[in-house]
C-alpha cells in the first residue's frame, strides 16, 4: 500500500508527518464490524466513567464473597492463557530453530503483546485504588511473599520483552535501518527471558488460588493447579493462533505472499500435533489428580457433571479431533478442535476463578451486562489495534527489500 512511497532518507520532521499520515484509517470505515464494535466500545467508555465516579459496585456484581468478577476471571486469567502462543512459538522458532514456523512468529508475538497490554489494562479497571498501582513497582512496599506480586512484575517485564521481540517490525515500518539492527540483536536474549517469565507467570496464575484451598471445589483445586495452568496455556495459545491466523488469512488477503496458503496449512498441522501432545499430558495429569484426591463420589453430583463436561467435552473431544485432523489433513476438523479447545479453556479458567469458587454459596452471582460489555470491548479494542498494525507494518507481508534475506522476520 504505502510500499511504493519513497521514505528511506527520512528526517525527524517527515517521520512525524509519516506517522500522522499513518494514523488515518485505511479502507472502508463504516463496515458492520466497525459500527457494532465502535458502539460497544463507546458504551463501555460510558460504563467506565460511571465505574470510576461511583465505585466498582455501581457497574459490577459487587460481591464480598466473590471479590474477582468477570474482568479478572475472563480478561486477565483466561486472556493470558490465550496469549501463551507467543512463548510457545518463540521457543520453537528461536530456541529450536524450527524455520517452518518463522512466517507466523510476528503475528503471534503481536497478538501476545496486545493481549497482555489490554488485559493488564483490564486489571487496572478492576483495581479499587488504581492510583496506588505504582506501589509494588517502585519498591516502597514490595509484597515479596505474594504470588500476585510475582505475576504483576512478570506481566510488566513480559510486556516489555514482547515489545522488544516485536520492535524490528516497527523499525521496518519507520525505515529505521540502524535501529532495526540493534533491536534484532536483542531478540534471542529477550526470547529466553520471555519464555522464562511466561513459564513462571502462566503457572503463577494457577498459584494465585493456592491459598483459596477451602473455597474452590475439590474437583478443581489441587497442588497441581500451577502446572495444569502452564500446560493448558500451551494448547490454549496455539489454538487461538490457529483461529486468529485463519481469520487473518481471509481478512488480510492482500497482505500475504502468494505461497502463504500452503505453508500456513503446514504450520497448522504442526500446531495440531503439538496441541494433541500437550492435551494428552494435561488429560493424564488431571486424571492423576483425580485418582490421587480419591473423590470419585463427587463426580456424581451436579457440579461433577459440569466437571465431566469440561474435561470430556472440551478437552478429550478436541484432543481426538486434533489427532484425526492431523492424520487426515483436515483443516476443518482442526478448526473445530481449536474452537472447542478455546471454549474448554474459558470453562476451565472461569470454573477455577468463579464457578467452582465458593460453589456452595447459596446466593448465585452473575456478572452484570455492564461487566460483559466492558469485557467484550477490551477484546474489540485489542482487535482494532491488531488490525491497524497489520495494515501498516510488515507482520504478514514481506519485510521491505533492505532487510537482509536471512534475517527476514
Partner 1 sequence: MSINRRDFIKTIGIAGVTLTVGNELLAAPKKEEKEIEFSGILIDTTLCIGCRTCEHVCAETNGLPDTSDEETGSNRQPTEKQLCVINTFNVDGNEIFVKKQCMHCNQPACATGCLTKAMKKTDEGPVIWTANKCMGCRFCMINCPFDIPKFEYHSPNPKIQKCKMCFERLKEGKKPACVENCPAEAAIFGKRRDLIEIAKARIYAEPDKYYHHIYGENEVGGTGVLYLASVPFEKLGFKTNLGATPYPEYSKEFLYAVPVIFTVLPALLLGMHSASKSENNKIEKEESYE
Copy the grid coordinates of residue 351.
Answer: 470454573
b/e sequence 241-276, b meaning 16+ C-beta within 10 Å: bbbbbbebbeebeebbeeebeeebeebbbbbbbbbb
Instruction: Locate all alpha helices (DSSP H) within 141-224, ordered by sequence.
Output: 147-173, 177-207
**Residue 398 CB: number of other CB atoms within 10 A?**
15
Residues between 204 and 263 that touch partner 1 (CB under 8 A) = 204, 207-215, 223, 226
Cβ-based nearer residue to partner 1, 154 or 387: 154
Cβ 99 to partner 1 shortest distance, Å = 8
Among candidate residues 223, 117, 221, the one with its CA nearest the CA of residue 160: 117
Is residue 60 at the binding interface for partner 1, with CB under 8 A as the rule?
yes
254: DSSP letter:
G
Among candidate residues 401, 402, 306, 288, the one with its CA nearest the CA of residue 352: 306
Pick one of 152, 268, 276, 373: the residue that binds partner 1 (CB under 8 A): 152
Is residue 28 at the binding interface for partner 1, with CB under 8 A as the rule?
no
Is residue 65 at the binding interface for partner 1, with CB under 8 A as the rule?
yes
Is residue 55 at the binding interface for partner 1, with CB under 8 A as the rule?
yes
Q: Looking at beta carbons, which pairs linking 62-69 to residues 24 or more positions away fall under 8 Å?
A: 63/363, 63/365, 65/358, 65/361, 65/363, 65/365, 66/354, 66/357, 66/358, 66/361, 66/365, 68/126, 68/353, 68/354, 69/126, 69/354, 69/367, 69/371
Cβ 103 to partner 1 shortest distance, Å = 17
Cβ 248 to partner 1 shortest distance, Å = 28
Phi, psi of 357 (to 5 degrees): -80, 120
Cβ-based nearer residue to partner 1, 42 or 65: 65
Pick one of 145, 258, 300, 360: the residue that binds partner 1 (CB under 8 A): 145
By CB under 8 A, the count of residues binding partner 1 is 62
| Region binding partner 1 by CB under 8 A among candidate stretches 91-99, 101-109, 113-121, 163-171 | 91-99
Provide the sign of the torsion angle of the four alpha carbons 80, 85, 88, 94, taken in this order: negative
Is residue 274 at the binding interface for partner 1, with CB under 8 A as the rule?
no
Pick one of 1, 133, 251, 291: the residue that binds partner 1 (CB under 8 A): 133
Is residue 342 at the binding interface for partner 1, with CB under 8 A as the rule?
no
Cβ-based nearer residue to partner 1, 215 or 397: 215
Is residue 369 at the binding interface for partner 1, with CB under 8 A as the rule?
no
Q: Which residues of this protein are in contact with partner 1, per CB under 8 A?
A: 52-58, 60, 62, 64-65, 67-68, 91, 94-97, 123, 126-130, 132-133, 135-136, 140-150, 152-153, 188, 191-193, 195-196, 199-200, 203-204, 207-215, 223, 226
Amino acid at each position: 500500500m504505502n510500499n511504493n512511497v519513497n521514505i528511506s532518507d527520512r528526517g525527524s520532521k517527515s517521520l512525524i508527518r509519516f506517522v500522522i499520515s499513518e494514523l488515518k484509517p485505511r479502507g472502508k470505515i463504516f463496515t458492520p464490524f466497525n459500527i457494532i464494535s465502535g458502539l460497544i466500545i463507546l458504551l463501555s467508555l460510558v460504563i467506565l466513567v460511571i465505574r470510576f465516579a461511583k465505585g466498582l459496585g455501581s457497574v459490577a456484581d459487587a460481591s464480598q464473597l466473590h471479590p474477582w468478577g468477570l474482568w479478572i476471571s475472563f480478561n486477565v486469567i483466561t486472556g493470558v492463557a490465550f496469549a501463551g502462543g507467543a512463548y510457545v512459538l518463540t521457543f520453537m522458532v528461536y530456541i529450536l530453530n524450527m524455520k517452518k514456523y518463522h512466517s507466523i512468529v510476528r503475528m503471534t508475538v503481536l497478538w501476545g503483546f496486545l493481549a497482555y497490554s489490554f488485559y493488564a489494562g483490564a486489571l487496572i479497571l478492576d483495581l479499587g485504588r488504581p492510583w496506588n498501582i505504582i506501589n509494588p513497582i517502585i519498591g516502597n512496599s514490595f509484597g515479596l511473599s505474594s504470588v500476585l506480586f510475582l505475576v504483576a512484575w512478570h506481566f510488566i517485564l513480559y510486556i516489555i520483552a514482547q515489545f522488544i521481540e516485536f520492535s524490528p517490525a516497527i523499525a521496518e515500518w519507520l525505515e529505521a535501518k540502524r535501529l532495526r539492527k540493534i533491536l534484532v540483536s536483542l531478540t534471542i536474549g529477550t526470547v529466553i527471558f520471555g519464555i522464562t517469565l511466561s513459564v513462571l507467570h502462566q503457572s503463577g496464575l494457577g498459584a494465585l488460588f493456592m491459598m483459596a484451598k477451602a473455597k474452590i471445589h475439590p474437583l478443581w483445586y489441587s497442588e497441581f493447579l500451577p502446572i495444569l495452568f502452564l500446560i493448558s496455556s500451551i494448547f490454549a495459545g496455539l489454538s487461538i493462533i490457529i483461529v486468529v491466523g485463519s481469520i487473518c488469512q481471509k481478512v488480510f488477503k492482500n497482505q500475504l505472499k502468494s505461497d502463504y496458503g500452503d505453508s500456513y496449512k503446514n504450520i497448522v498441522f504442526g500446531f495440531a500435533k503439538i496441541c494433541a501432545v500437550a492435551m494428552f499430558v494435561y488429560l493424564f495429569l488431571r486424571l492423576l489428580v483425580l485418582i490421587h484426591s480419591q473423590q470419585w463420589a463427587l463426580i456424581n453430583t451436579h457440579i461433577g457433571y459440569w466437571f465431566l463436561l469440561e474435561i470430556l467435552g472440551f478437552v478429550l473431544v478436541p484432543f481426538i479431533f486434533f489427532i484425526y485432523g492431523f492424520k487426515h489433513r483436515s483443516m476443518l476438523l482442526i478448526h473445530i478442535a481449536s474452537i472447542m479447545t478455546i471454549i474448554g479453556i474459558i470453562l476451565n479458567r472461569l470454573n477455577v476463578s468463579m464457578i467452582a469458587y465458593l460453589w456452595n454459596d447459596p446466593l448465585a452471582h452473575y456478572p452484570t451486562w455492564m461487566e460483559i460489555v466492558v469485557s467484550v470491548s477490551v477484546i474489540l479494542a485489542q482487535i482494532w489495534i491488531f488490525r491497524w498494525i497489520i495494515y501498516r507494518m510488515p507482520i504478514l507481508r514481506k519485510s521491505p527489500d533492505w532487510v537482509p534475506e536471512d534475517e527476514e522476520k
